[in-house]
Chain A
Amino acid sequence: MSETGRQYWRSLQERANSPDVERWLQNEFPEGATELDAPSRRSLLKLMGASLGLAGLTACSRPVEKILPLSKGVEDYIPGNPMYYASVISLGGTATGLVVETHDGRPTKIEGNPGHPASGGACSAFAQASVLGLYDPDRSKTVLRNGSPASWDDFARFAAGHFDPARIGAGERLRFLSLRVNSPSLEAVRAHALARFPKARWIEYEPISEDEILAGAAIAFAKPVRPHYHFDKADVVFSLDADFLGLDSNNIAYIRDFSKRRRISSPKDTMNRLYMAESRLSITGAMADHRLRMKTGAIRDLALEVARNLNLDVPAASGPNAKWAAALARDLARSRGRSLVLAGPRQPAAVHALAHWINHALANEGATVTYTETGAAPELPALKQLAQELRSGQVETLVILGGNPAYDAPADLRFDAVMKNAPVTIHLGLDPNETAGLAQWHLPEAHYLESWGDARALDGTVSIQQPMIRPLYGGKTAAEVLALIGGYKDRNGYDIVRNYWLPRWSAGDAEKAWRRALYDGVIPDTAYAPVEPALDAKRVAAALAGTAPPASEGLELTFYPSAATWDGRFADNGWLQEAPDPITKLTWDNAALVSPATARRLGLETEDIVAIAAGGAEIEMPVWVQPGQADDTIAVALGYGRRRAGRVGRNVGHDSYLLRTSAAPYVTGAAINRTGRKYKLANTQHHFVMEGRPLVREATLEEYRKDPDFVDKIAETPKLFSIFGQHDYSKGYQWGMAIDLNACVGCNACVLACQAENNVPIVGKDQVTRGREMHWLRLDRYFTGPEDDPQTVTQPVACQQCENAPCETVCPVAATSHSPEGLNDMVYNRCVGTRYCSNNCPYKVRRFNFLDWHKGLQEVEKMVFNPDVTVRMRGVMEKCTYCVQRIQEKKIQASVEGHRELRDGEIVPACQQTCPADAIVFGNINDPNSRVSQLKKQTRRYEMLAQLNVKPRTSYLAKVRNPNPELA
């Protein structure tokens, strides 16, 4: 026995070291959009060898040599143990604090920073997936001069000459264009540069703009302020097209606050009530107790109607929703100081101003909405002017620090064309995108995980951005490049940030404060002080009078940021591309969303290709018939159809920016025509009706109060008995989970967190159309009620860890079997792949590696893998394990610390850790005081398909809606 054993490992090692197997291993390792490279034939034997060899290789930690040569020890570093650093990610000019897990010097997992106001320990799907972006092999790797490789030295030499004040003077013809800046240190460098070139101008542009929000506040208060909402204090919320739980900024913090008022533990508890008016069904709308679907343009009238019912002196507006508005107004009035009205970025400034006015009238100011001063101003006008200057050749030098205006600027500015008019264009960017292709100089930008910086959250709180790894491709940050151009005293990010902050602390403990800031991930007392601006009702009324009532005729086209690619910048991120859209469940595509009624009227079906004409342009894209979409409206996601991107993102979906004009960046009239052609869309869910099955159970708050046990009435479970003796689970740790359907908003963060934590591969569009997506945790979306105006429920479903697991009995090789702690273990290396377990799983949560999803993976792509989880080869089954690697880690830690008991909440699965709504709770169900046990005591608790007597360890807490009785 030992003989065979020894030889077994020896040969294994030999395999691992032989170069050709090395090559197989690279194919054998996971991750990356697989179907991109043509499949190569491989001999069975080599494959087997590789699978064994792979074993050998993962054990040794190559990255150590690359990054932290252990020949010089690193403090607190134990090889193989992860280390955690605080950092921060910025998106759309606001920051979210993070804690980044690194293994042997490579970041592998992003978590929220509990101490950060915008995170509270949670983070968004974008943040979760950003770690994959770091290892994108298609990132910019080198400086490009007119498309041919150059070096940073070349650029430095060029810059020294070109930006020499003697030559460029005051910079009359110098323009800077950047994404929204929320970095104090960058602002300092910018100030220095602008001081050096006083006549130069700096333009900030984000395609997902906040212009109307800022303009609206400016109207209402006659000065630039920014509203901050406090949903945890609001009993009644009226959202005018504001997707504050979804794609609007700061959504993580808002989800957390909002869900605090949705989570209930007994019929005595109260809930907030959400009214929503919107054209496209957003996840905020899906959570609403009352949702009114209407054209985006018609929302103004509804707002006026509500305002009039609140006796505000506003222009008359006739809406078909008088009853609705009246009831809402009464509801708002009933909860003065505890209500909140907010408008979304797609609404005109006047509507924002009106929202402020209503809040003012309801005495919500300072309670549910506070204000801070802001330097931010509407961006589009400045960008327009820049385009004008470029067109007329007034600009000699255009420095683009991040962003991709050639792709995402409004189409009527023809930015890609006018950009060429500037003799010198310099572009700093993460990837060689459309803009990079047009710039003379393209400079590789450093990813936020590999560079120093700092960033402000929406409320002003500043966090230091720490690098986790040396820049993979020698990229630099905007601050560094600007320092080079503007001759700033410090040149590298570390000095720039550190020397910006140190003087701000008293000399004595500056060093300590700096270390503290790095450790905590937030710099104390940096949040903006709230102000109490005086609302000027006359200005608001005037502004409202100025706005025209919307065109009621014709189709209305609205643009919204993609939940996958945002504004297009994440197009190269396979995890996000394959993450199903929270509402449509579409992957790898955007589509023209139309309501069933409109589809019938226009004779459209899902997957018909239509030509959409708007803004003087026309594009073709497929139709998706979406229940809940307002009639006579089309909603199209931005951020697709990238022409110049990496292998993952190139030509995925259709570019809707072509229809977007500076005059109508969000809402415009449109014409739609059938082309008669079809287009295959890849969506992960095909059937949205529950077929009367008690899968998601819900009731209204009233019903719940009348009958706290309503869940059992919805489907009474028969008396269950088994002819087999039942295993005794009464001792030791018994892991279980409770998912509160009332709190879950369906934001996708958990899905991405699971993917990152468990090395879940992506399979590409073609394979998704074949029904082979690999997500261990999925969000099931069901619609109830009328097809055109349904109610929406979301249900996170992962392995339910059945005590009587049907998958276990049928596996012929015992590759899946039960642990004494009630886990349904899955042993990838034992699995032969009969797929019987998956067939016999009533929840269909098991995922099979139909092909080698990791083919043709490059070294750098392997670095994203979590070394604590086996990378699965083709031919084996995989599934959720409650993050067993985290369970084991903590159990070992506890035993090392003197064989102590585990504390409740010590073990947190990836999905729970990142859930901003705190809807997922994991723990020991044998401990009556654990949070999970407490939740499972609630009368709302039920198990899905309990009648099968599989005894799932995951329980659901039924959804409770809180409709207004007047509207019932």
Chain B
Amino acid sequence: MADLAITRELNPPLITGHPSYADVTAKVSGITEGRMPRVWYYAFGVTVTITGVLIAMLSYLALTGIGVWGNNQPVGWAFEITDFVFWIGIGHAGTLISAILFLLRQRWRTSINRAAEAMTLFAVACAGLFPLFHVGRPWRAYWLFPVPNDYLGVWQNFRSPLMWDVFAVSTYATVSALFWYTGLIPDLATLRDRAVTPARKYIFGILSLGWRGSARHWRHYEKAYLLLAGLSTPLVLSVHTIVSFDFAVSLIPGWHSTIFPPYFVAGAIFSGFAMVVTLMVLAREVFGLKNLVTMKHLENMNKVILATSLMVGFSYLIEFFTAWYSGNMYERYAFYNRMFGPFWWVGWLMVFCNVLAPQVFWSKRMRTNVPVMFVVSILVNIGMWMERFAIVAVSLSRDYLPSSWGNYRPTYVDILTLTGSFGLFFTLFLLFVRFLPMISMTEVKGMMAADAPHQVGEGL
């Protein structure tokens, strides 16, 4: 008795309210089977509309030219690449939670990893749009891929970080998709078995690849999942490292920096976790998953946010120190310009949102307070977007030759395209929670067993 009480004290359960396996199945599958709460339809209506705007903007862009954006000489890259890096960053938390925490046996990940992985996929999808559409001649974008072209007899330039991007991002997308899908299979089978309508039976029948839950299936499943986890782990580091190369290998002050790889990865995880918090806080409110996505999950994520925030803040410091210590007038000016130039507000906003705001999580009361963490997570997302903008556009606006310094003003197309990408992201996410189990039933059940040792009076 007493010792049990102590274990509980030291190690509070990740699943509260003693649900039975059946409860979990019913709860999670139920969401996809029953009607969605009205709020879902409202939300879906809104996000689909916004996605429509995205499509309109991209068509306008493709038909008219990059000139519909605010880009200019010298600011060749602005919103579009900022958005690209931003979304890629968002993706990272997903893989991190599902793969790395899995390998580290962080049991608390189970309730959130599915949603996080889905988020990764959708974020990467959003990210992918921007590089494809930001080229001057989108109908030639396929030249970025090593497709056979006998009649030209030319090949891509593999020295270009943009080529590395192409490979890094596509690999990332593929592996994440596989990892996510593999994890889904047992749950898909559950849905298939519970399906009443032939349509659902049929669809989930196909998707679950004939899963029967035999011991052999489980063994293969565990192996595959473990392997894929191992496979995606390096990707978490590689993708954003390579994205950071776009800037790091250039020679523009404010871009050319050797600390970019770790700096970008930390930032990516930072923003990614913030996005997960934003989404999960909403989801558990709307779908009443408070017992599965517990305060402990949220608190842990907030701890990660705090930690990564400190790393990001440290990177900022190092950047400025290096610029000063280098004694290079161009470097120094670039960072002076970042905080005191025409875009000073971007610089300070980024510091406030990314470094100062998350510090509230030092206090347990704050990091367990849902409204607070919601606000902070939004701030972090804003701050991280600003960080990328400061790096991409602000650095470009004032580089080596003062004669060529320019200003930058986004057009409505820039802003609506960014907004639209959010529309796409949330549309996909809403469809996901509508049709697929947003929580991995399999893993949750596995955990409940661990959480509830067979004790007298503790039957399931």
Contacts and interface: CB of A to CB of B under 8 A. Distances in A.
Interface of A: 1, 4-5, 8, 39, 41-44, 47-48, 685-693, 695, 767, 770-773, 778, 780-782, 795, 797, 806, 808-814, 817, 830-836, 838-840, 842-844, 846-852, 873-877, 945, 948, 950
A850 B411 CA distance: 14
Nearest to A9: B151
Contacts of A39: 64
Given A1-B150, A833-B136, A842 B64 contact: no
B63 A8 contact: no
Contact of B151 (A5, A687, A851): A5
B400 A945 contact: yes
A623 B265 CA distance: 49
Given A1-B150, A42-B63, A43-B63, A844 B136 contact: no
Contacts of B73: 771-773, 838, 844, 846-848
Given A832-B144, A847-B73, A850-B72, A839 B252 contact: yes
Contacts of A832: 135-137, 140-141, 143-144
A371 B396 CA distance: 56
B329 A814 contact: no
Given A43-B63, A835-B71, A848 B76 contact: yes
B406 A835 contact: no
B273 to A, nearest CB: 30
B134 A814 contact: no
Nearest to B64: A39
B139 interface: yes
Interface in B132-173: 134-141, 143-144, 150-151, 154-157, 159-163, 166
Contact of A812 (B67, B76, B166): B166
Contacts of B159: 809-810
B440 to A, nearest CB: 38
13 contacts: A4-B151, A691-B329, A691-B402, A693-B402, A695-B403, A773-B73, A795-B403, A810-B161, A812-B156, A813-B157, A834-B136, A846-B73, A874-B67
Interface of B: 62-67, 70-77, 134-141, 143-144, 150-151, 154-157, 159-163, 166, 246, 249-252, 329-330, 333, 396, 399-407
Given A685-B404, A691-B402, 9 more contacts: A695-B401, A770-B67, A781-B403, A795-B403, A810-B250, A811-B160, A814-B156, A840-B252, A950-B251
A875 B405 contact: no
Contacts of B407: 686, 771
Contacts of B156: 812-814
A44 B333 CA distance: 42
B64 A814 contact: no
Contacts, number: 187
A876 B401 contact: no
Contact of B251 (A767, A840, A850): A840
Contact of B139 (A48, A686, A851): A48
B64 A836 contact: no
Nearest to A779: B403
10 interchain residue pairs of minimum CB distance: A833-B136, A875-B136, A835-B76, A850-B67, A771-B72, A851-B67, A780-B403, A844-B404, A814-B157, A812-B162
A817 B156 CA distance: 12
Nearest to B408: A771
A365 B404 CA distance: 46
A8 B150 CA distance: 12
A690 B404 CA distance: 11
Q: Identify whether the interface residues of B are mostly helix, strand, loop, or mixed.
A: loop
Contacts of A44: 62-63, 138-139
Given A840-B252, A850-B67, A770 B72 contact: yes
Nearest to A949: B251
Q: Which of B72, B136, B250 has the most CB of A within 10 A?
A: B136
B144 A767 contact: no
A39 B68 CA distance: 11
A767 B73 CA distance: 11
Contacts of A849: 65, 136
A178 B232 CA distance: 82
A339 B282 CA distance: 85
A383 B157 CA distance: 68
Contacts of A771: 72-75, 406-407
Contacts of A767: 67
A34 B407 CA distance: 22
Nearest to B402: A687
Nearest to A685: B403
A688 B404 CA distance: 10
Q: Which of B64, B161, B401, B402 has the most CB of A within 10 A?
A: B401
B144 A839 contact: no
Contacts of B74: 771, 838-839, 844
Nearest to B247: A839
A501 to B, nearest CB: 49
B343 to A, nearest CB: 15
A403 B253 CA distance: 53
A351 B329 CA distance: 49
Contacts of B70: 770
Contacts of A839: 74, 76-77, 250, 252, 396
Nearest to B73: A771
A874 B136 CA distance: 7
Nearest to B155: A814
B163 A812 contact: yes
A795 B403 CA distance: 10
Contacts of B141: 832
B162 A848 contact: no
A669 to B, nearest CB: 36
B401 A843 contact: yes
Nearest to A810: B160
Contacts of B405: 686-687
Contacts of B65: 849-852, 874-875
Contacts of A945: 400
Q: Which of B155, B162, B333 has the most CB of A within 10 A?
A: B162
Contacts of A772: 67, 72-73
B155 A780 contact: no
B71 A850 contact: yes
A850 B150 CA distance: 30
Nearest to B74: A844
Nearest to B136: A833
Nearest to A809: B159
A628 to B, nearest CB: 17
Nearest to A692: B329
A824 to B, nearest CB: 14
Nearest to A845: B404
A266 B394 CA distance: 43
A566 to B, nearest CB: 26
A44 B163 CA distance: 25
B403 A687 contact: yes
Nearest to B137: A875
Nearest to A41: B63
A848 B75 CA distance: 11
B304 to A, nearest CB: 33
B76 A838 contact: yes
Nearest to B70: A770
A833 B139 CA distance: 11
A678 to B, nearest CB: 16
B403 A8 contact: no
B64 A851 contact: yes
A748 B314 CA distance: 49
B256 to A, nearest CB: 10
Contacts of B404: 685, 780, 843-844
B163 to A, nearest CB: 5
A689 B75 CA distance: 20
B333 to A, nearest CB: 7
A812 B160 contact: yes
A689 B402 CA distance: 7
Contact of B401 (A817, A838, A842): A842
A145 B65 CA distance: 45
B136 A848 contact: yes
Contacts of A695: 401-403
